[in-house]
Structure 1
Amino acid sequence: MFGYIVVHKPELKVREYETYRASYCGLCHSLKKQSGRIGQLTLSFDMTFLALLLTGLYEPETVTKSARCIAHPVEKHFYRENRYFDYAADMNVLLTYYKCLDDWQDERKLTACLFGQALKGNVKKLAERYERQSRYLRDNLAALSAYEKEKQYDIDKTAGFFGAIMAELFVYAEDEWAEKLRRMGFYFGKFIYLMDAYEDIEEDLKQGRYNPFTELYKKETFEQDCQQILKMMMAETSKVFEQLPILEDAEILRNILYAGVWTRYGQIRCRRKETKKEA
């Protein structure tokens, strides 16, 4: 959905990258199985991370299969299946749907309205099955929207609304790991929200849209301050991750947390420097 939570391929072993690809394809297959082809359009790297995280934590029986699809019509590709890929797929559809509603209400984006309507049938069933997650999504997106309309620029509070959403999506069950998963998801969500704001700051200001970094952008230390904030969010996320007893695919997850998440950041920063040089 956002595309910030990716692997840093150069630092992965071939076997690890193949596992990651099979996981990404596994999420795609789960989306089709759970919500049809329209569900596949919500495919994201962010929820691939969640599927890998929960698989590593709970160690379910995972089946690896091969098949052709629209994206791979000639050669068969490997994909992974287990209940946590299905769960991540369901969370992806829920998150996309409510984000579409939010975009339509706040910015009157026609594409968001149409896509949201296309997902509505699937979401009704998912909202009943995942009442807790759905409620947190609705309530916190509504609170975030209201806060943004008030033009409040408390960065921590604003990001906290999306953090609260991801905190609940990370919790598959109310068990011994729920507290740690909530904490990890909270900072993970804040990181995603703030990274998105960091990337969009110039365009948001140009279009008169809300951005939590609006006041910070006026300072000469904007880049350094943003980097420090983002590092703090990911440091807290990684700190909780290291407390979880994950062995399976742990190196892939570490690759994402310690290197992959900074891939887009580096690209954004380089692009911003080039734009300023041209100006």
Structure 2
Amino acid sequence: MGEKDLFGYIKVDQANLLGKEFEAYNGIYCTLCRQLGKDYSIFARLILSYDCTFYAMMALDLAEEPPCYQEGRCRFNPFKKCHYADTQTLAFSLAAALSVISAYYKLRDNLLDSPWYKRILYRLVQPFFASWRKKAAKKYPEIDVSVSKMMERQLTAEQDQNCILDQAADPTATMLSEMCGLLADKIPLREPLDHENTKRILQSMGYAMGRWIYLIDACDDYEKDQKHHNFNPFLLDNREEMPAYMQANLNHALSDALLSYGLLDKGRYDSIIRNVLCVSCVNIQKKIISKYTDTKETED
């Protein structure tokens, strides 16, 4: 399974957001897109993800000064108006660096286990990804160290014949814990947040979110991995009630993330963050788990 598929699960549920909330979220999304283009290249905009948008939003929620937005035109669609924040804001620089570093290691992982025709394409674009990663790592070496260490630990865990579910999820969880803790070190915090307490809370929240992301991806790929004999932590445990087991593990991770987040003083994006944790992630869980419960009911 690996790190390669861990993108796209942390997003908002638009139907349950107010108009002004969705506009604010879109502003962060569009600004991160612009930051990727500014810091790396116009092609780096193609690796924009919901996950790193959430990371930027968390950083902005902690920050002392709110971002200032101005209207502009989308680079890819000149007919579309966007709201852009100041790209000098550190939150977007961190999120852009995490984006390109994660994308580079994702590409390296894909080169190991993709069909030959896909590997040709990956090798063609690898120099661009390597260049972006080198630039980002020079600015934020701690991000590169954390993500590369995660990849090494993930490979080791998946090659261990005695690997258990918690062991498989730990590398991703630890990496995201470190990335969330980094926000407390880099972002000038708003009052009444203090550095040490906020860092501990963010690390705890990041660990739980990282665990949830890894496990939801494993649930999503369960049938595919079973068919192709790929590693999947849920295949290590032959249970009759696998959907219930999946649900229990996902609920545990998500509730831990929400409990940790609840310890933080409410910030300017609290309603959007809660939309992600309490609505969107829950709906994604239901949709993925229903693939297996519906199949089981049909067979019965």
**1:120 aligned residue (113, 119, 130):** 130
Q: Does the residue aligned with 1:41 lie in a helix, a strand or coil?
A: helix
Query: CA separation of 1:59/1:263 partners in 2, compared to 1, >3 Å: closer, same or farther?
Result: farther
Is structure 2 residue 77 aligned with structure 1 residue 72? yes
Kindly provide the CA deviation profile for residues 71-119 of structure 1, in whole angstroms up to 9, marking residues without a partner as x.
4321312133322022111111111111221232344651544444321
Q: Does the residue aligned with 2:235 lie in a helix, a strand or coil?
A: coil
- 1:206 equivalent in structure 2: 227
Deviation of 1:4 after TM superposition, in Å, equals 0.7
Paired with 1:201 and 1:190, the residues of 2 have a C-alpha distance of: 16
Q: Is the 8 A contact 2:247 2:289 kept in 1?
A: no
Q: Is the 8 A contact 1:106 1:145 kept in 2?
A: no
TM-score with structure 2 length normalisation? 0.85
Give the CA RMSD over aligned residues. Answer: 2.1
Paired with 2:74 and 2:80, the residues of 1 have a C-alpha distance of: 9
Paired with 2:148 and 2:104, the residues of 1 have a C-alpha distance of: 10
- 2:190 equivalent in structure 1: none
Q: Is the 8 A contact 1:101 1:113 kept in 2?
A: no
Matches within 5 A, 1:31-50: 31-50=36-55
Runs of at least 5 residues in structure 1 that lack an aligned partner in the other structure: none
Query: CA separation of 1:40/1:94 partners in 2, compared to 1, >3 Å: closer, same or farther?
Result: same
Q: What is the aligned-residue identity percentage?
A: 28
Deviation of 1:271 after TM superposition, in Å, equals 3.8
Deviation of 1:272 after TM superposition, in Å, equals 4.1
Paired with 2:162 and 2:107, the residues of 1 have a C-alpha distance of: 22
Is structure 2 residue 242 aligned with structure 1 residue 222? yes
Paired with 1:143 and 1:266, the residues of 2 have a C-alpha distance of: 30
Deviation of 1:42 after TM superposition, in Å, equals 1.2
Deviation of 1:208 after TM superposition, in Å, equals 1.5
Number of equivalent positions = 278
Structure 1 stretch displaced more, 252-261 or 73-82: 73-82
- 1:269 equivalent in structure 2: 289
Query: CA separation of 1:107/1:252 partners in 2, compared to 1, >3 Å: closer, same or farther?
Result: same
TM-score with structure 1 length normalisation? 0.91
**1:150 aligned residue (137, 146, 160):** 160
**1:29 aligned residue (26, 34, 40):** 34
Q: Is the 8 A contact 1:27 1:88 kept in 2?
A: yes
Q: Is the 8 A contact 2:250 2:285 kept in 1?
A: no
Q: Is the 8 A contact 2:246 2:289 kept in 1?
A: no
Paired with 1:258 and 1:67, the residues of 2 have a C-alpha distance of: 32
Structure 1 stretch displaced more, 184-193 or 103-112: 103-112
- 1:166 equivalent in structure 2: 176
Deviation of 1:278 after TM superposition, in Å, equals 7.1
Deviation of 1:160 after TM superposition, in Å, equals 0.6
Paired with 1:117 and 1:229, the residues of 2 have a C-alpha distance of: 39
Q: Is the 8 A contact 1:38 1:119 kept in 2?
A: no
Letter of the 2:132 counterpart: N
**2:204 aligned residue (165, 176, 183):** 183
Deviation of 1:13 after TM superposition, in Å, equals 1.2
Is structure 2 residue 218 aligned with structure 1 residue 197? yes
Q: Is the 8 A contact 2:17 2:272 kept in 1?
A: yes
Structure 1 stretch displaced more, 264-273 or 44-53: 264-273
Letter of the 1:92 counterpart: S
Structure 1 stretch displaced more, 134-143 or 110-119: 110-119
- 2:102 equivalent in structure 1: 95
Q: Is the 8 A contact 2:243 2:292 kept in 1?
A: no
Is structure 2 residue 17 aligned with structure 1 residue 12? yes
- 2:3 equivalent in structure 1: none
